[in-house]
Amino acid sequence: MTRRHLPRLRRLAFVAFLALLPVASARSQQAGGGVPVTTDAVQVGPVPIEILANGIIASESVVTIRTRVDGQIERVHVTEGQMVRRGQPLFTLDARLAQALLAQQEAQLASNRAQMARTQADAVRYQSLRGESFASQQRFEQAQADALAAAANAKATEALIQQTRLGIEYATIYAEMDGRLGAIPLRAGNFVRQAENTAITTLTQMDPILVQFAIPERWLPEVRAAMYREPPKVTARADGDSEAPAEGTLVFIDSAVDTTTGTILLKARFPNPEFRLWPGQYVQVKIAPRVQEGAITVAGPAVQTGQTGRFVFVLAPDNTARRRDVELVRLAGDRAVVTGELQAGEKVIVDGAQRVTEGTRAVERGPAPQRVSSVQ
């Protein structure tokens, strides 16, 4: 063997030494009483079936506010981003021209009504004269026609007055619902026309609010069955929100599955009095269509993966580790729902499971720390 092989042999010897260190450490710990581990009790009971999804917040109603009459903006009663109530005045347009037209039409109506009264009186008079043969049939029919024409003119003027009054009413723009105003690009002094269809601002409903999200189609039977019983609860939380998730209720299941993605669109309604949820915001959604009774759950990190599948180590009463094969059904928070030969109250090894094998002596070192499972 030449000298050029010595560095390689030294590196191999060092790697072998490092590999044997955990084994030596475990043997020394067993000699001193066992491998230190932390455990968590097996739990058997009801566990909600939870479906996770990404959602987007959308308002139930967005109203684009436009003018219905021509005129100059005389006054802006609100500010951008303000919360307003239904019926609250937002803008006032100059309505002096319409008010002058209204006065003219009211005067015309008075004239029409006077004309109608005179023609009706003539019709009555010619009817009596025709009965006494003092007036011809033709003159009587002409009086009747004049009376009907005068009545029609009066009704037409009344309709014009109603139209003008409606235009004066439209000169003040009110909020159609409770909501938050958007940007206001036009200010007092700008002239607006109905024909231009220019948006003055938008009004967005904030409370309640909707969350739209999609779930895989395999969950559709569960969700539909839950809707028949009682609309399932839905929670939503935005990234970075440290408060408890907002709670809402499922209100909509789309009529068809999206064939391109294999998902179904759902909508949930959330009370939003504090405006935690904002239109257009992305949120993490969780829906629980039903509760699984008698589910076996263990701490997520206790589930190990081997060549033959999933397993956990149970700390037996004689302080030895015993391997139990399990099947991972799903994750529920930091716990794993499994199936297998586990009994409620048995202690599964959480921290230290990688350092034990079947029959290894182990000793508890306190409760297992709470952490998020990394089971895949």
| Whether residues 147 and 166 fall in one domain | yes
Please state the domain count of the chain.
Answer: 2
Asked whether residue 134 is domain-assigned, the answer is: yes
- Rounded to two decimals, what is the model's pTM? 0.68
Q: What is the pLDDT of residue 191?
A: 93
| Whether residues 112 and 143 fall in one domain | yes
Does residue 369 have a cis bond before it (omega within 30 degrees)? no
| Whether residues 131 and 165 fall in one domain | yes
Quote the tokens at residue 199: 């948006």
Give the domain CATH number at 134.
1.10.287
Q: What is the pLDDT of residue 31?
A: 46
| Whether residues 74 and 137 fall in one domain | no
| Whether residues 103 and 160 fall in one domain | yes
Other CB atoms within 10 Å distance of the CB of residue 185 = 11
Asked whether residue 287 is domain-assigned, the answer is: no
Q: Which of 204, 222, 251 marks a domain boundary? A: 204
| Whether residues 89 and 103 fall in one domain | no
Asked whether residue 352 is domain-assigned, the answer is: no
| Whether residues 88 and 177 fall in one domain | yes
| Whether residues 70 and 158 fall in one domain | no
Sign of the dihedral through C-alpha 121, 124, 129, 130: positive
The CA dihedral of 8, 13, 19, 24, to the nearest 10 degrees, is -170
Spatial separation of the C-alpha atoms in residues 25 and 104, rounded to whole Å:
105
Spatial separation of the C-alpha atoms in residues 295 and 309, rounded to whole Å:
20
Asked whether residue 179 is domain-assigned, the answer is: yes
Q: Which of 144, 170, 196 marks a domain boundary? A: 170
Instruction: Tell me the sheet residues that pair with 71.
Output: 192
- What angle is formed at CA 301 by the lines to CA 298 and CA 303, rounded to 5 degrees? 65
Give the domain CATH number at 176.
2.40.50.100
Please state, in angstroms and as integers, the Cα–Cα distance from residue 370 to each residue in 39, 64, 147, 301, 363, following that order. Answer: 11, 50, 94, 10, 19
Other CB atoms within 10 Å distance of the CB of residue 234 = 27
Asked whether residue 213 is domain-assigned, the answer is: no
Q: Which residues of the chain have pLDDT under 70?
A: 1-33, 126, 129-136, 138, 140, 366-376
Per-residue pLDDT tens over the stretch 119-161: 888 777 767 766 555 556 767 677 788 889 989 999 999 999 9
Q: What is the pLDDT of residue 21?
A: 47
Task: Give residue 66's identity as a one-letter amino acid code.
Answer: R
- Per the structure, the complete domain to which residue 142 belongs is given by 96-170
Per-residue pLDDT tens over the stretch 330-342: 888 788 999 988 9
Helices (DSSP H) in the chain: which residue ranges? 6-31, 96-131, 137-170, 220-229
Q: What is the pLDDT of residue 242?
A: 85
Asked whether residue 48 is domain-assigned, the answer is: no
- With beta carbons less than 8 A apart as the criterion, state whether 308 and 352 touch: no
- With beta carbons less than 8 A apart as the criterion, state whether 64 and 204 touch: no
| Whether residues 70 and 157 fall in one domain | no
The SS3 assignment for 226 reads: helix
Spatial separation of the C-alpha atoms in residues 184 and 90, rounded to whole Å:
11
| Whether residues 150 and 132 fall in one domain | yes
- What angle is formed at CA 215 by the lines to CA 298 and CA 267, rounded to 5 degrees? 115
Q: What is the pLDDT of residue 373?
A: 45
Asked whether residue 146 is domain-assigned, the answer is: yes
Asked whether residue 305 is domain-assigned, the answer is: no
| Whether residues 128 and 70 fall in one domain | no
Is residue 128 packed enough to be buried (19+ CB in 10 Å), middle (13-18) or exposed (0-12)? exposed
Quote the tokens at residue 207: 């409370």
Q: Which of 126, 155, 170 marks a domain boundary? A: 170
Q: What is the pLDDT of residue 367?
A: 55
| Whether residues 166 and 179 fall in one domain | no
Quote the tokens at residue 90: 């937002």
